[in-house]
Structure 1
Amino acid sequence: MEIPLMTTRTQRSRLFAAGVVAASVSLVLTGCSSSKSESSGAPNASATVNEVKADPKLAGLVPDDVKAAGKLLVGADASYAPDEFKDDSGKVIGMDVDLANAIAAKLGLKAEVQDSGFTAIIPGIQSNKFQLGMSSFTDNKEREQIVDMVTYFNSGSAVAVKKGNPEKIDPKDLCGKKVAVQTGTTQADEIKDTRDPDCAKAGKPGVQNGGDKFDLQTDVTNAVVSGRDQAMMADSQVVDYAIKQSGGQLEKVGETYGVAPYGVALAKGSKLTPAVQGAVQSLIDDGTYKQILAKWGVESGAITTSTVNGAVS
């Protein structure tokens, strides 16, 4: 299924974790590993974060109808650990969830995070089902045409293969290879818009099937672990997390590339946009933001300044 770029995920993707992985990946994943993750630490979902108190000035920017409801409805595709995924009880947790809760608290509100298919989140924002989309969306010019984007994180793309790279996969040349990606992601678009055309120019076959597309990142990872596919492409921190959870069955090949910011998605021209941007910046300034990233082992993606619609491409 081909998804237009403006409704695709970020320049990356997502994966599994404790509960979701145990439930959906237990047939092929066992144990735990400690692969390096580009200057970030290991996730610790039980780590504590400072209590976030409302900022009266920022709370004053919240529209009256939202203030009266007392909550922010947040859409997230809970299959993309460590950004957003489900624990053993089915509760949605992760970096984006903690940040959504902290943003809401800064604004004197509560966040209600709802699991949603990734490609349904932006339409949900446009139809007022959600006020925010926090689901590892890359901020890009095309997406900014239909939603506002408040930047909060940097991520890139990466490639993972079976441990030891038995098929000698070159991450810069995936022509003719079987590569798993999540539907609707930038990696899926990368195969269609960049990888396959480059293969054709070189006189080589494209990535098989235009990439094996799965609705859930957990299934993407399983495809490589099980040997169905030779490689997977996803957001860099998602690949790192998958490696850590794979029991030594996966490894990263090549370097992270295509680094770009994630953005909180809001309705175009939303009165909430300046309030959310102010809340993100306040969390960065008071240290809460860094605590949340450290909790999920993704400190390497930290930013120092949050912007609105600041995509460069």
Structure 2
Amino acid sequence: MRGLTRYDLLGVTNVARATQIKALALLPAFALAGLTMACGAGGNGSGGTQPSSGAPASSAIPAEAKDAKLAALVPADIAGDGKIVVGQDQTYPPNEFVDSNGKVVGFDVDLGNAIGQKLGLTMEYQNADFSGILAGLAASKYEMAMSSFTVNSEREQTVDMVTYYSAGTSLGVLKGNPENLSPDNLCGKNLAVQKGTVQVDDATARSQDCTKAGKPAINIQQFQAQTDVNLQLTTKRSDAMLADSPVVDYAVTQTNGAVEVVGQPYDTAPYGIALKKGSGQFAQAIQGAVQALIDDGTYAKIIAKWNLSTAGAVQKSEINPAVS
């Protein structure tokens, strides 16, 4: 459920930003050293251990063969240089993040690479602030945006969206839920969220309900990077965090259970690959590639690699589905 309901300022992509994200991803291991948690050195920004590659061990995804019919649908101005430039906010494990070796990895990255292989093209991932990616796509800075974007009707008015997974919002708390929290009793609590996501809107609405009921407002702590949100919780500077369900699930596994999920995900909606409107048959090419990966089993392997819930797996990829 990651996403804005309107475009924000164009995100900036540069080496310094990538370096900063890598440094943030390494922080939790040191910050947790003094806590009584079963955690060790990590590089994924979730506050726990992981293989040095940032991905589960023995999880290589076989290369896909080019599909000439799908490749022919890609507009010449995109295919001409042999690559697709992808806008992405790489602070969102397990979907897209920089691992301890400085490599961009994640569910979206593996799926994106497989899509590229189907089309006979290489994916070039460019890091940006999440709130500026779609504006960058509109300005032709990127040829595709793949960064856990929630599909909604407002977005579909300005970009084409190709669905590939379904996720909801989850509440993450420390092990044992010491504050006995739920999404409905966060009044007066410190709640960490990533800027520009639907979780900000969710938290704001909940805080307004608190004050209307004569209770303290939620202290909504917004951070540019999801890695900062994770760190905020694991170092006990926040009582809870709201994020997409795959992100909170991943934080649980990467902290060896130091973080836990409260209840079930809610407000479930599809993720979509965003493409600039007026791009010929590009959307059909991307949708066809995603569907081919679903049909040949590669999609399921990628989901399993990143321990994503199979409940979010889609059987049919769609272009601009009817959504609210």
> Structure 1-normalised TM-score?
0.87
**Which residue in the other structure is 2:287 paired with?**
277
**1:202 CA drift (Å):** 2.5
Mapped to 2, the partners of 1:276 and 1:81 lie a distance apart of 23
**Which residue in the other structure is 2:127 paired with?**
115
**Which residue in the other structure is 1:256 paired with?**
265
Secondary structure, counterpart of 2:228 in structure 1: helix
**Which residue in the other structure is 2:50 paired with?**
none
Q: How many positions carry a matched residue from both structures?
A: 290
**Which residue in the other structure is 1:290 paired with?**
300
Residues 155/102 of structure 1: CA separation in 2 closer, same or farther (3 Å cut) = same
Mapped to 2, the partners of 1:172 and 1:56 lie a distance apart of 51
**Which residue in the other structure is 1:97 paired with?**
109
Q: Which of 25, 30, 40 is matched with 2:28 structurally?
A: 25
**Which residue in the other structure is 1:44 paired with?**
56
**Which residue in the other structure is 2:314 paired with?**
303
Q: CA RMSD in A?
A: 2.1
Decide whether the 8 Å contact of 1:7 with 1:184 is kept in 2: no
**1:255 CA drift (Å):** 1.6
Secondary structure, counterpart of 1:102 in structure 2: helix
- How do 1:153-302 and structure 2 match up within 5 A? 153-192=165-204, 194-208=205-219, 211-271=220-280, 272-300=282-310, 301-302=312-313
Structure 2 unmatched ranges of 5 or more: 9-21, 33-38, 43-54
**Which residue in the other structure is 1:5 paired with?**
5
The amino acid across from 1:241 in the alignment is Y
The amino acid across from 2:300 in the alignment is K
Decide whether the 8 Å contact of 2:86 with 2:125 is kept in 1: yes
The amino acid across from 1:231 in the alignment is A
Higher relative contact order (CA 8 A, sep 6+): 1
Identity of matched residues, %: 49
CA offset digits 1:102-133 (Å, max 9, x no partner): 11111111111112111121111011111111
1:57 maps to 2:69? yes
Decide whether the 8 Å contact of 1:139 with 1:311 is kept in 2: no
Mapped to 2, the partners of 1:200 and 1:187 lie a distance apart of 18
> Structure 2-normalised TM-score?
0.84
Mapped to 2, the partners of 1:158 and 1:276 lie a distance apart of 29
CA offset digits 1:50-88 (Å, max 9, x no partner): 220111110110111122111100111111111001122
